[in-house]
Structure 1
Amino acid sequence: MNHEKQNTLKFVLVLILVAAFSRIIPHPHNFTPVGGIAVFGSYFLGRKIWAFLVPLFSLWLSDLFINNIIYPIQYPQYYEGFTLIGSFWVYGSFLLMIPLAWGLLSTFTIPRLILTGLSTSSLFFLVTNFGSWLNNPIYTQNFSGLLTSYIAGLPFFQNTLLGDICYLVILFGVTKVSGFSLKPVYEKQAKI
């Protein structure tokens, strides 16, 4: 790897961690960098295991902090502790976003970036609300209950979509403005 790509890689890794920990800043529900991190990481880290591990680790690390330090203080009456089991649908959708982004953002253009943001936000909405329907006894286990789950999630979808698009613009914009190339660090043809 040449010196320019090494510097870009370091910058991308730091930016992903900073974005992940920006989740501790007060924000509207679901207006987070989660989808932006998945797309940004998948684009720059290519089709390598790092495209999964780096964004996933940053999400997990920020979740550990938020769920073990912030939530117990803010919501002591509701907080029952952080479990990965409860986050299965979030992490699962996050992992599905990465190959989706590989296909949609094979080359960088603004329209492709927006399309990828729309698609990954929609994927997150569909998967996590399906998980809510499946695991939450408030929803009947039939099509009506599933539909109710999706309707209940619509207000959160708006913020997810806005957050993903906003963070995608910020992550890619900061990279470009900082003088780094918008070319992937690793080639897309590489195998996992």
Structure 2
Amino acid sequence: MKTTQWMTLILMVLVAAFSRLIPHPWNFTAIGAMALFGGTYFPSKKLSMVIPLAALFVSDLVLGFHATMLYVYVGFLAVVLLGWTMREGKTFTRVGTMSLVTSAVFFLISNFGVWMMEGLYPKTAQGLVSCYVAGIPFFGNQILGDLFFTAVLFGGYEAIKKFAPDFAVKASA
């Protein structure tokens, strides 16, 4: 990979990590979109998993660690895996739909982690439902953030491929 291509990837990781560190509405960050983007565009499947998790980890070093981290990281890995399904045939509709799907997948996994690890809810079906209901306000912001940053990342990268192809990274299976 060329230096310019590495610079593109590193810049994207830093922007995603930074989006968690600046003041923002709860869950309105670039991390979910970065995970989807990574699964779709990064040149190797291994790299597609490592780079988004690196962005998450870098920002967690500043924000602090918590009991539900395993579920958060697994949730973002699931988003990367769903991104793998979009390596071929990216359309506006498909990218938008997958952004919504990955928001829902992350919501389900991360809130399950809150229910399991935090002790805020009884370990019953009703407790799990209560946990998911309590997470709905965060979910709305996550959907908006994922849609916004997915549009920025995917749209921006397609523009880079068209107007500055030396900075683009070719995906491989």
Would the TM-score normalized by the shorter structure come out above 0.5?
A: yes
Match of 2:108 among 116, 120, 126: 126
Aligned pairs, how many? 170
State the alpha-carbon separation in 1 of the partners of residues 87 and 79 from structure 2: 11
Cα 1:114/1:9, change in 2 over 3 Å:
farther
Pair 1:185 & 2:170 matched: yes
State the alpha-carbon separation in 2 of the partners of residues 125 and 187 from structure 1: 29
Cα 1:60/1:157, change in 2 over 3 Å:
same
Superposition CA RMSD, Å: 2.2
Pair 1:16 & 2:13 matched: yes
Identity across aligned pairs (percent)?
36
User: Following TM superposition, by how much is the alpha carbon of 1:176 offset from its aligned partner in structure 2, in angstroms?
Assistant: 3.2
* Unmatched 5+ stretches in structure 1: 68-81
Match of 1:66 among 63, 66, 69: 63
State the alpha-carbon separation in 2 of the partners of residues 28 and 167 from structure 1: 14
Pair 1:45 & 2:45 matched: no
Q: Work out whether residues 44 and 185 of structure 1, in 8 Å CA contact, stay in contact via their aligned partners in 2.
A: yes
Q: Work out whether residues 79 and 102 of structure 2, in 8 Å CA contact, stay in contact via their aligned partners in 1.
A: yes
Counterpart position of 1:153 = 135
Q: Work out whether residues 40 and 83 of structure 2, in 8 Å CA contact, stay in contact via their aligned partners in 1.
A: yes
* Structure 1 or 2: more helix by fraction: 2
Q: Which has the larger radius of gyration?
A: 1
Counterpart position of 2:69 = 87
Could you list the structure 1 runs, at least 4 aligned residues long, displaced by more than 4 angstroms after superposition: none
State the alpha-carbon separation in 1 of the partners of residues 122 and 135 from structure 2: 16
Counterpart position of 1:74 = none
State the alpha-carbon separation in 1 of the partners of residues 86 and 45 from structure 2: 17
